[in-house]
Structure 1
C-alpha cells in the first residue's frame, strides 16, 4: 500500500464494495469503516458519495459497462467501484470535472492499482466528452434509466399502474428532514420560535400536531434542546401511528419490533397516563438504540430483548389493550432514505418477509384483549406485504374486524390505508387497524 494519505474517494469505494459484494447495508458499512470514522471534515463528502452512488448505482454501472471495451476482471472489482463513484461525481455533484478525474486517477495508488491510472483517466474523460449522449448510453434499459431493479419496477407497475413512475422519481430524490416536538416540553409553535432564534427554518406539518418540516437538513446537535429530549427526528408518516392507536388512560400497550424507538417515544409523549408500555426488540444492538432513545427523552417502558414469536420468553399472559406491530418489511417505502435497499432486496426476500409478517400477526393476536386494537404498520409500498397480508388474516380469523381509518392522507385500499412515497412529501407507509371482537 502506498504511503500516500488515504483519499476520501478510496474510502467511499471501499464502502460501496462492501454493500455490493458483501450485501452489507450502507449504514452498517459506514459505521464499520474505521477510515470513515476518522475522516474528519471529509466525512460529509464520503457520505454524500456513498449515498448518491447507491441511489444511482444501477444507472452508473450500466454507463460504465458501455464505456468499457471489455469487462473488468473479478479480482480487480475495486477498480470498478472506484470508476463508478467517479462517474457519480461527474453526473450528480458540483465538483469540477478535472478535479474528479485527477482525484480518481490518483486514488488508484490507494488500491494498489497504479497500473490502471491510464484506464481510469480514459474512461472518465470519455464520459466527459460523450456526456451529451447519456440517453443513448442508457438505451431502452428501464432499470438503468430509473436506477431501480427490474423486479421492483415490474411489481410497482402491477400494484400501482397509475403511480409507479411517480414512485420511482420520488425514490431518487433526497429525503426531507422532519422533527417531532415533545409536547411534554413544548407546544409546536413555541419550539418553532426556538428554531427561529438559531436561524433554522421550519414549517408545521399537516396530519401530525407535533410535526415540523425543516427547510434544510440539520445536524441534530444544532437542534435546540435535542439532548434534553425536547425534540426528535421522525419522518412524518411514522408520526401517524400514535394517533391511530386511539390511546386511553390506564391501558396496557405493546410496541412489538420496537427499535429504534421513535413510535414508542411518541406513544409515551402523547398519552402519559397509560398504565404501561411494553417494548419488544429481538436484536440486542437495536434494543440498545431503543434504550438510548427512551433515555434521552427521559421516558420509561418495560423492555424485553426477545423474539416476539417466542411468547414464553417475554409475555406474562396479561393481554394488551393496544398493540403496535411495526412489522419487518421490504422497506420499499423508504428507499429515498436508504437507497441501498434497491441493491440489497430481491423478490424472493419479499416472499419470506410476508411469511414472517403473517406469523407475527397470528402470534400477537393471542395477546390482544377483546375489543382491543392492533395497528399493523409497514414502511412498504408493496400490496403483497400490506393489503394482501391483512385480507388473508381477516379471512382466517372470525374475531377480527377491520376498523376504517378516516383520514385525508394516503389511499384507502379496502384493507388499510397506503401512503405512496412522495405523496404529501411523505415516505411510503401502510396502516391497518384491526379490532378484536368479543
Structure 2
C-alpha cells in the first residue's frame, strides 16, 4: 500500500498549494479508480490525521533531519510516515519499507537512505522525540502560531480547551426528524442495529463510535440527518411558525434548510451561489421528503433575484473562516491566513446589510457563522447595529468547540 502513503503525501502538497482537503481527496479518488474501499478509507485517515497532527509531526521531523530537505515531496512523505508510526496500527517495518519504496520515485531514488535512516531513528528514539515535541507549545498546539495568538487574546481562560477540542476526532451527531418519531424511538432502532448512542436534548443523538452514514437506520428514508448539535440550534432560534416566508441564505449543503422545514410548514427559499452545492440541498430535501424553492444567486445582490416580497425570517449563515469546525476539516487551520479576515469581514457586512433590506418589519434575522473569532462575530454584530438603528438584538451566543459540539456564533435580530 505504498501508493496510499504516496497519495497522502501528494494531498498534503495540494493543501500547501491552497486546495481544500475535500477537493484534494475527491480528485485523488477519482484519478485512482482502482482503489478498494479499504484503501480509500486508509487514504482519508492518513490525509486527515497528518493535517490534524501536523505541528507535532513537523517538530519530530526537524529533530530527525535538522537541515531543510531538498525535495518538498520528500518532507511530505516523511510526515505521513511519521503519522502512521504514531497513530496507526500499521507494522513499523511495513511503514518504513513503504516510505523507502515511495522515495524511489523522488529524485531518482537518491534519498532512500535518508528516509530509511530517519524513520528507523524515530523508532529507536520515539519517546525522547515525542516528549520534546510535547514540551514545545507551538508544536503541541498543532495550529499556526498566529491562530494560537488570536485564540489566547480572545479567550484567555479557554484557548487551551478550544485547541484540544479542535485537534480531537469529531463525534458523529445526528438530528432525529421528529415528524417521524421521538428521539427515544430512534435510540431503540440504533440499539437494535448494535449502535451505541445517547440523546443530546430532544432532537440530537450522538453515536459512541462513528459508522458509515448509509448504515444508519432510516437515513435513506429521512428519519435522521447528520448534523452537529451546535448547528441544530439555528432553526430553533428563528421561532418558526406555519406559513411564514423564510429565506435560507447560503443554504448549502442543506442541513439547516431541512431542519427548518421539519420544524414548521413554512414557505422557504433556499439560496446559494454555487450550483453544485445547491444541488446537494435539493438531494437532501428529496431524501427528507420536503420542499423548498431552490435558487442559485448571490445573497449579497438581491437586486438580481428578489421578487420584492419581504421575508418574515432570514437565516444569514454568512461565509466565514470556518474556524469553529477545524476538527472536521483540519485543512482549514493551514489554509487560512491572517489577512483573510479583512476580506471576510467586508463580505459578511455586505451580505448582512443586503439581507436586512429583505426582512419584513417585525421580522427576525439570525446572523450565524461557524467561526470562533470575535472579528467575524460579536465585533461584526456591533458594527451592524451601528449601521442599522432599526435592528434590535434579541440574543446572541458564542459556542466554542467542545466534546458535545463544534464552534458557532448566533445573533438574533428583530426589525423595528
Please state which band the TM-score falls in when normalised by the shorter chain: over 0.9
Unaligned runs of 5+ in 2: none
Name the counterpart of 1:332. 323
Does the aligned pair in 2 maintain the 1:294–1:300 contact within 8 Å? Answer: yes
Does the aligned pair in 1 maintain the 2:310–2:360 contact within 8 Å? Answer: yes
Aligned equivalent of 1:421, options 398, 401, 413: 401
Superposed displacement of residue 265, structure 1: 0.2
Query: Which runs of structure 2 are paired with 1:138-217 in the superposition (5 Å)?
Result: 138=133, 141-206=136-201, 209-217=202-210
Name the counterpart of 1:433. 412
Separation in 1 of the partners of 2:39 and 2:185? 36
* Alignment TM-score, normalising by the size of structure 2: 0.96
Unaligned runs of 5+ in 1: 405-415
Name the counterpart of 1:230. 223
Name the counterpart of 1:14. 10
Superposed displacement of residue 174, structure 1: 0.3
Aligned equivalent of 1:259, options 252, 261, 269: 252
Change (3 A) 1:128 1:228: same
Does the aligned pair in 1 maintain the 2:2–2:98 contact within 8 Å? Answer: no
Superposed displacement of residue 38, structure 1: 3.4
Superposed displacement of residue 200, structure 1: 1.1
Change (3 A) 1:252 1:9: same
Does the aligned pair in 2 maintain the 1:30–1:36 contact within 8 Å? Answer: no
Does the aligned pair in 2 maintain the 1:11–1:35 contact within 8 Å? Answer: no
Q: Secondary structure at the residue paired with 1:248?
A: coil
Q: Does 1:68 align with 2:61?
A: no
Q: CA RMSD in A?
A: 1.6
Q: Does 1:97 align with 2:92?
A: yes
1:56-99 per-residue CA deviation (whole Å, 9 max, x = no partner) reads: 112212321232142122xx211111111011111222323222
Aligned equivalent of 2:35, options 34, 39, 60: 39
Does the aligned pair in 2 maintain the 1:322–1:368 contact within 8 Å? Answer: yes
Q: Secondary structure at the residue paired with 1:369?
A: strand
Separation in 1 of the partners of 2:66 and 2:211? 43
Does the aligned pair in 1 maintain the 2:393–2:411 contact within 8 Å? Answer: yes
Name the counterpart of 2:50. 53
Superposed displacement of residue 360, structure 1: 0.7
Q: Does 1:316 align with 2:307?
A: yes
Superposed displacement of residue 19, structure 1: 0.9
1:349-369 per-residue CA deviation (whole Å, 9 max, x = no partner) reads: 122111111111100000000
Does the aligned pair in 1 maintain the 2:63–2:129 contact within 8 Å? Answer: no
Q: Which moved more, 1:62-71 or 1:76-85?
A: 62-71
Name the counterpart of 2:243. 250
Q: How many residues align?
A: 414
Change (3 A) 1:237 1:37: farther
Separation in 1 of the partners of 2:306 and 2:44? 41
Q: Does 1:344 align with 2:335?
A: yes
Does the aligned pair in 2 maintain the 1:142–1:150 contact within 8 Å? Answer: no
Name the counterpart of 1:374. 365
1:321-369 per-residue CA deviation (whole Å, 9 max, x = no partner) reads: 0000111111111111111111100111122111111111100000000
Name the counterpart of 1:87. 82
Separation in 1 of the partners of 2:335 and 2:108? 28
Separation in 2 of the partners of 1:172 and 1:221? 26
Does the aligned pair in 1 maintain the 2:175–2:232 contact within 8 Å? Answer: yes
